[in-house]
Amino acid sequence: MKFSLSWLKDHLDTSASVEEIAAKLNAVGLEVEGIEDPAAKLAGFKVAKVLTAERHPNADKLQVLTVDTGHGTPLQVVCGAPNARAGLVGVLGLPGAVVPAGGFELKKSAIRGVESNGMMCSTRELELGDDHDGIIELPADAPVGTDFADYHGTDPVFDVAITPNRPDCMGVYGIARDLAAAGLGTLKPIAVQAVPGSFPCPLPIRTDDPEGCPAFFGRAIRGVKNGASPQWMQDRLLSAGQRPISALVDITNYVMLAYGRPAHAYDLSKLTGAIFARRAQDGEQVLALNGKEYTLTAAMTVIADDIGVHDIAGIMGGEHSGCSDETTDVLLEVAYFDPVRIGETGRALNLTSDARARFERGLDPAFLDAGLAILTELIVEICGGEPSEVIQAGNPPAGTKVVAYDPAMSEGLGGVAIPGERQREILAALGFHADAQWNVTVPSWRPDVDGAADLVEEVVRIHGLDNVASVALPRVDGVARPTATLAQKLERKLRRAAAARGLNEAVTWSFLPEDQAEAFADGNGGLWTLANPISEDLKVMRPSLLPGLLSAAKRNGDRGAAGLRLFELGRRYLRGEGGHSDERLTLGVVLAGEKAARGWATGKAVPFDAFDAKAEALALLAEAGAPVDNLQVMGEAGAQFHPGQSATLRLGPKTVLARFGMLHPALLKQFDVDGPVAAVELFLDAIPAKRGAAGFARAAYAPPALQAVTRDFAFLVDAKLAAGDLVRTVKGADKANIVAVRLFDDFRGQGVPEGQKSLAVEVTLQPAEKSYTEAELKAIAEAITTAAAKLGAVLRG
């Protein structure tokens, strides 16, 4: 939230400097995100007087001005403003000044052949308003040569982050209250002067939705004259980042920003019959003030008349009944809306506004009368008119509660001892009232305070968080015991292993758009859809890590990344038995683009393929402690993968440890990814725990005393036989001596019968206590050929 120093001083009597105010705001928990200095933006702009104005010799719509800057020789400036004339006092931007609206630096230049030494500026160019039809016209007695920043006034602007639990600080008055309680000045009381009505309200007002809109207060004002709001009000709104529109609209925005009380003004001539709050009808539509049309549901509250909807209650008014320059009669609406209903409606419509930000946090239900009175007084003062009597439909909630409090809690819970009387003073300054027994009445503008712990927070933050002593946690003597769990150790190990293999870690959302989640659902009991998502595009919990990695790959590819090796370690979310959440630790890998760039040795760029994905899967499973030597390669990787270019790694037919391969072209098209893309998904929860193992520690490595022996075998096998099956069978032929088996050749051609292939493997034998004899080597070879024969393999001659 933004506000200027002068606006703050409207409500806080203080002589504190900008730096002191910023420090105190941070101290009481209202974080200052920035302080804008208008003088810095207006550096290089001077109050200047036009001495002469002559037609440009080469352009009909331009003039050549002679401008007095108050210092030395007048400057020549080319200007296209229609109001530029001799005698006008305006604002001149000198060479070197940066125009706030465009961010460009002014330079001495030639315009249509005539030298120009700067620019006469409009209010829009200096971000002081929207007028750009002509240059700024200052009073004739404005001091020529003065820095425009000094003439206009330098009013610093604070930008404060308001946490969701502090709706009372969504107005400048609430921030002033906190500062006054912290001893930085005196809070000025709100000057509320009731304006009596002189005639009955011409429209009935009621609420037909007491749950969504418990209270609806309103009154009419006839004979108003809408136009520009006063300069002081425009300055306040501009400091808050609001664009002045018209007096009636600006007044409602001003009251919202000053007191945190949203309101709405309708053009009375555009309303028919009664005005009332009701539930919308399914499919009902409304054209909002932002120019967009919204389709409503019966779960939403609206403000309507006898003809139709005029307002999405508490969020945004409708364009049809908005005030214009021709408006002469208005109807004011000050209502209380259910915060939950407002939040649900805003999320469903994906519609945000300043009013919604305040209503969904919870407003002061006791401020309806005062808010309506302030609005009425300002409108009558600025726009004239005659107000009607007030109509009050419904009743707002009480808003106050009583909390039992013990002042000793400030030390026990807050860590700082504060005298009871001082605590009572702090609470009173914030609007709380504590009786003799410390039963504390919570003010209506503090819906966030529910219990005694909240009161401790209020007392301690105003007393000063810097007064809370830093106390180290107790620590036992000696070396600290390890606290990481086996799962945490596994995650750390896999992250390091993946990074060591050249993969880059990605961290993506645990939420997905519904269509992306559906593409990876795989019938796992249905998707988890959030009841309160942060946006409509992030409302389903991910059933797989691959959608997020694919989206990350697309974003990087769109920005010119040629080759992508991404991995993510996280959880996927499935529906377990009884509808409970089933979170499973998973590692996902996506390989996209070029594996090797084009070059003189490789020719064209080399893309990733299914074997690259398999290599990553096996390497990372080995790091996770899976028995990779016992894994079987089987199909059915899933509909997301390309058939024939994907598979699963399993321990037996049912336990799937990983799936890998090329993703299906249809899936890549859905994600708008230019393929091909290889992917891996490791299901770490499926890896069986080692028997009797308390962790992942290994015995110290002891190299064998004798040199290993290698033997090569070439087998003729059926062309459909997986090479991995042969490798696994050969390795199991003699587990005592065979320590490794590696496939080094796959040949199909001359000398190999049709329908067969030749697979050659290198077998590594490791003697233990003595070298092998010829008889022992022969026995091992016979065991290998016998085992291979069970697969139909025949040793080649």
Binding-site residues, please?
448, 454, 457-458
Q: Tell me the backbone φ, ψ of residue 131, rounded to 5 degrees.
A: -70, 125
Specify binding-site residues for Mg(2+): 448, 454, 457-458
Question: Rounded to whole angstroms, how far apart are CA atoms 296 and 785?
Answer: 75
Question: Rounded to whole angstroms, how far apart are CA atoms 534 and 156?
Answer: 34
Which amino acid, 14? T
For 572, the 3-state DSSP assignment is strand
Q: Three-state secondary structure along 453-491?
A: HHHHHHHHHHHCHHHCCCCCCCCCCCCCCCCCCHHHHHH
Q: Tell me the backbone φ, ψ of residue 754, rounded to 5 degrees.
A: -60, 135
Strands, sheet with 2-4, edge to edge from the N-terminal-most edge strand: 2-4, 157-161, 31-36
Question: Rounded to whole angstroms, how far apart are CA atoms 612 and 589?
Answer: 11
Question: Rounded to whole angstroms, how far apart are CA atoms 756 and 747?
Answer: 9
Closest CA to 434 of 413, 458, 415, 416: 458
Contact 259, 367 (CB under 8 A): yes
Closest CA to 716 of 756, 754, 761, 762: 756
Question: Rounded to whole angstroms, how far apart are CA atoms 491 and 486?
Answer: 9
Omega within 30 of 0 (cis) for the link into 447 = no
Measured between alpha carbons, how far apart are the two ends of the chain, in Å? Answer: 85
Cβ neighbours of 517 (radius 10 Å): 21
DSSP states of 417-442 as a string? Answer: ---HHHHHHHHHHTT-EE-TT-EEEE
Cβ neighbours of 594 (radius 10 Å): 15
> What token pair was written down for 516?
């992306």
Question: Rounded to whole angstroms, how far apart are CA atoms 258 and 250?
Answer: 12
Bridge partners (DSSP) of residue 275 are 205
Closest CA to 495 of 506, 511, 482: 506
Question: Rounded to whole angstroms, how far apart are CA atoms 58 and 136?
Answer: 25
